[in-house]
């Protein structure tokens, strides 16, 4: 793809818009070949068969992708999963359980803390390293036994967008592949996973079409000094990612929280000046999220609801609501897009340097 801006104002805006195509490219092989271990390298079948624990290592947005993968792998397979921030893991005396597969996630493949953490994991007795990376010839891919590439294309904006959602696409493929190999999911489930992956790019394109409404939300948000992002289950890491995007490019202090933790602290901050952006699925946890939202409403917080179809009617008290199409397990990918657009338009309103936020670098190659 081209590195020209074309009609876009910023690279970040262009990269957000490229997500349907980037996801289609990243998921293409899995859709053609099925959820086969071979997608992760010739040795993957034998390595996956011996693995009894997965440890995910990453930094920044890639770490948030790892947190979503934990929910997926735990739900779709019987494997226990741990997720660590690379800069913490490298200095922690973590003893690896036998047969641990390290999954190292990185857009650049050059993040210094991640490379050091991967090396530390070797001394702690991992069985192999699987690199999930956007750069084919990088330090990380050279060090890993197994490699799977995201096909996001070059990402220029410092704040990760298409690299993050394609990481999620590939991690979903990993979870489905492990489920298939372990036979922990019935064939109907496997067919459902395939269908979800197949329709995802189109649903992402539909979600991009909500940009104008999100630009209006951004107009309001640009006046805020703080913001709270809430989610549960697989959408909890997406709340973290939404808050990170707003901090990175719009310079608004934002926190992502597991909605169930609201009453353990952040509720004390909620008043009419606190925008609360909530990501919600219409699933078995919907009632729990609604009761969290009532707590916010009772304190005058301004609720911005991003929900799957059917959620808005359940929260008529929300200040603003937008509904996204339901896409099953892949909801975290779809739900990321409005949060990117919200941060982007808020930053534009504030006139920040969207593609090169102050003090931040695209790739952190020193400790
Ligand atoms: C920097 C970038 C982030 C990125 C993080 C990890 O902080 O600004 O967008 O998520 O590094 O980078 P990696 O290349 O390892 O995914």
Query: Is 362 among the catalytic positions?
Result: yes
**Catalytic member of 189, 288, 356, 362:** 362
How far is 122 from 95, CA to CA, in rounded Å?
Answer: 11
Looking at residue 2, its pLDDT comes to 67
Looking at residue 331, its pLDDT comes to 97
Query: What residue spans of 77-210 are helical by DSSP H?
Result: 86-89, 112-123, 139-143, 162-182, 187-208
Query: What's CA 135's distance to the chain center, in Å?
Result: 18
Question: ipTM, 2 decimals?
Answer: 0.97
Residue 322 CA to ligand 1 center (angstroms) comes to: 29
Looking at residue 322, its pLDDT comes to 97
Distance, first Cα to last Cα, the chain: 32
**Tens-digit pLDDT profile for residues 28-57:** 999 999 999 999 999 999 999 999 999 999
Residue 26 CA to ligand 1 center (angstroms) comes to: 19
Looking at residue 1, its pLDDT comes to 58
Looking at residue 242, its pLDDT comes to 98
Looking at residue 346, its pLDDT comes to 98
> DSSP secondary structure string, 321-345?
EEEE---GGGHHHHHHHHHHHHHHH
**Tens-digit pLDDT profile for residues 193-212:** 999 999 999 999 999 999 99
Mutate to test the pocket of ligand 1, among 56, 60, 158, 357 (most ligand atoms within 8 A of CB): 60
Residue 187 CA to ligand 1 center (angstroms) comes to: 36
Residues with CB under 6 A from ligand 1: 59-62, 106-108, 111, 114, 158-160, 360, 362-364
Q: Which of 234, 231, 171 has its CA nearest to residue 23? A: 171
Q: Are 201 and 17 in contact (CB under 8 A)?
A: no
CA 330-245-28 angle, 5° bins? 35
Residue 163 CA to ligand 1 center (angstroms) comes to: 10
Low-confidence ranges of the chain (pLDDT < 50): none
How far is 366 from 202, CA to CA, in rounded Å?
Answer: 39
**Tens-digit pLDDT profile for residues 45-104:** 999 999 999 999 999 999 999 999 999 999 999 999 999 999 999 999 988 999 999 999
Query: Which ligand 1 atom sits nearest the alpha carbon of residue 114?
Result: 15
Buried residues in 14-42 as b, exposed as e (16+ CB within 10 A): bbbbbbbbbbbbbbebbeeeebbbebbbe
Mutate to test the pocket of ligand 1, among 107, 138, 353 (most ligand atoms within 8 A of CB): 107
Q: In what side-by-side order are the strands of the sheet with 320-324?
A: 253-258, 226-231, 275-280, 302-308, 320-324
Mutate to test the pocket of ligand 1, among 56, 61, 154 (most ligand atoms within 8 A of CB): 61
Residue 2 CA to ligand 1 center (angstroms) comes to: 22
Q: In what side-by-side order are the strands of the sheet with 146-149?
A: 81-85, 53-58, 100-106, 128-133, 146-149
Looking at residue 61, its pLDDT comes to 98
How far is 171 from 223, CA to CA, in rounded Å?
Answer: 36
**pTM value?**
0.97
């Amino acid at each position: 793809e081209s590195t020209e801006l074309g009609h876009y104002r910023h690279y970040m805006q262009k990269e957000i818009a490229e997500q349907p195509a980037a996801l289609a490219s990243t998921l293409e092989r899995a859709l053609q070949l099925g959820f086969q271990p071979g997608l992760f390298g010739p040795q993957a079948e034998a390595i996956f068969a011996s693995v009894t624990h997965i440890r995910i290592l990453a930094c920044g947005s890639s770490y948030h992708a790892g947190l979503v993968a934990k929910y997926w792998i735990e739900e779709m397979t019987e494997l226990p999963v741990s997720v660590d921030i690379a800069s913490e893991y490298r200095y922690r005396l973590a003893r690896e359980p036998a047969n641990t597969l390290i999954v190292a996630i990185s857009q650049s493949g050059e993040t210094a803390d991640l490379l050091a953490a991967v090396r530390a994991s070797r001394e702690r007795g991992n069985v192999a390293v699987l690199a999930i990376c956007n750069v084919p010839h990088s330090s990380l891919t050279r060090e890993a036994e197994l490699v799977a590439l995201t096909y996001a294309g070059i990402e220029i904006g410092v704040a990760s967008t298409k690299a993050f959602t394609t990481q999620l696409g590939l991690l979903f493929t990993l979870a489905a592949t492990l489920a298939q190999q372990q036979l922990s999911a019935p064939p109907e489930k496997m067919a459902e996973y395939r269908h979800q992956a197949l329709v995802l790019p189109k649903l992402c394109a539909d979600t991009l079409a909500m940009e104008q409404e999100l630009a209006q939300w951004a107009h309001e948000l640009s006046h805020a000094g703080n913001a709270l992002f809430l989610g549960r289950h697989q959408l909890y890491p997406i709340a973290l990612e939404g808050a990170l995007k707003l901090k990175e490019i719009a310079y608004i202090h934002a926190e992502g929280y597991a909605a169930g933790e609201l009453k353990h602290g952040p509720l004390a901050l909620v008043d009419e000046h606190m925008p609360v952006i909530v990501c919600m699925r219409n699933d078995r946890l919907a009632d729990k999220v609604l009761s969290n939202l009532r707590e916010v409403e009772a304190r005058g917080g301004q609720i911005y609801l991003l929900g799957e179809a059917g959620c808005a009617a359940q929260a008529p008290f929300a200040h603003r609501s937008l509904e996204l199409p339901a896409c099953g397990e892949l909801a975290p990918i779809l739900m990321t897009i409005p949060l990117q657009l919200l941060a982007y338009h808020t930053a534009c309103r504030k006139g920040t340097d969207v593609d090169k936020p102050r003090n931040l670098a695209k790739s952190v190659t020193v400790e």
